[in-house]
Amino acid sequence: MNTGKEQKILLIIIVIILILTGGYLWKQQQNLVKVISVVLPNDYKDTQQDWIEGIKTCSSDLDFQVNFFFEENEEELNKRLDIENSQNISALITSNDCNINSKDLFAEGYNLAFNIAQKSRPVKLEKNDNEFKIGISLYNKDDTFINTLSTEIENSLKKVANDNNVRLLLDVEDAKGDKYEQNRHIEYFMEQKCDVIAVNIIDTWNASKVINRGKEERIPVIFFNREPSDEDISLWNDVYYVGTDGIELGKMQGEILTEAFLKNNSEIDKNKDGILQYILVEGEEGHSDSVRRTDAMLKKIDNNFTTEQISLVSADWKRDVAKEEFSKVDINKIQNSEAVVCNNDDMALGVLDAMKEMGIKDFPAILGVNGDNEVIDNIEKGYILGTISQNIKGQADIIADLSFKLWKKEYINEEQKIYISGEKHIKLY
């Protein structure tokens, strides 16, 4: 009898051991993943987008991790290759693996990644305290300001990483104005277990969804340039906004226009009726940034003199669209306008392009926002009245520093909305 009981007890112990061992091995297996590093020249982001997208799509389909590194020159490329060769990764892809003559670069990238992933070995995925991984989603790199800001953010992040002797894993995605594409980017960053996600959001109404996903995955989110509502920002402690205040930008536009109208009335008030006839060129109808900038500008100038809006143009923040849409405005209205107020500099340049093409010589007072170099050059030439720069370097440095502190879980002595002051650039009379 005792022998039977002992055998049962022994059998139970063996089963328990097998279960525990199996669970341990299963957990170990779950920590094994294929990690592929892709090291490329910086210009590949623009010239080989489809090939890169093929690799990313394959990584999502096959559920392996891919880290992209884009370097400015050969020296930086070689440094990065040395670093990646020393890391615990499954495989390495370089520009030598890209057949740029392929008729279908997406398929080329997908198949390359597929074959490499099939042949490569998985590695044990352990969180490296020396790796700082950040994903950035841009609304549209065709926007001059966003393109410049993106470059500055990358430079600031690299400097923070170098100063703190950490390995930066940076992935910058361009949504090209497609909010659904941006949603895919954000989900991809979540899957890749980024330490921080920075979002130049297309649709501010979508901010709450992004914040809640970050909260679910415990991944901090930094919004920049396009400001979510206070209500959305308050949804979680680890969410921030960095950028200028749209209300302040609009107010400063109003100050520039007010000063010009009151001090140089004879030049601005063409018909001498004491009323400012203006055309408004907005970024997007109903967009929060457009509304904030426009309302603040109007509030400022309406407190000082009478205004009359004679036409409204919506140009999607783009120079070519502004040129096309402004050209459709009745030429008599354009010639009678005393100011053209634009929500950004790209659209101000589009307006200037249109008027030059239409043969208009006597330009109204044109205003923009962003401090674009081409706009400042046109201010100096007397073609544009003014703009407000947004301190791109300052924004980039704050985003990089904030990202690093969030990764390190350091104390952050900042409000959740961090505003950078703008600076006026005005035509001299």
Q: How far apart are CA 141 and CA 114, in angstroms?
A: 29
Which amino acid type is present at position 210?
V
Coarse DSSP helix, strand, coil percentages of the chain, rounded to the nearest 5 percent: 50, 20, 30
CB 327 within 8 A of CB 279: no
Query: Whole-angstrom Cα distance, residue 368 to residue 249?
Result: 10
- 246-389 matches 132-244+393-421 in CATH topology: yes
Domain extents in the chain: 3-119, 132-244+393-421, 246-389
* Look-up of token digits 């070519």: 320
DSSP annotation of 96 reads G
b/e map 324-351, b = 16+ CB within 10 Å: ebbbebeeeebeebbbbbbbbbbbbbbb
CA atoms of 373 and 381, how far apart (whole Å): 12
pLDDT tens, residue by residue, 141-158: 989 999 999 999 999 999
**CATH superfamily assigned to domain 246-389:** Response regulator (3.40.50.2300)
For 414, residues 6+ apart whose C-beta sits below 8 A from its C-beta are 240, 402
| DSSP sequence for 106-137 | HHHHHHHHHHHHHHSPPEE----TTEEEEEEE
Read off the pTM: 0.75
Q: Provide the token pair at 134.
A: 């950040």
Q: List, for residues 300-357, the tens digit of each pLDDT value.
A: 988 888 999 999 999 999 999 999 999 999 999 999 999 999 999 999 999 999 999 9
Q: What is the pLDDT of residue 258?
A: 92
Question: Which of 222, 236, 235 minimizes the C-alpha distance to 189?
Answer: 222
- Domain 132-244+393-421, CATH 3.40.50.2300 — does that match? yes
pLDDT tier at 32, thresholds 50, 70, 90: confident
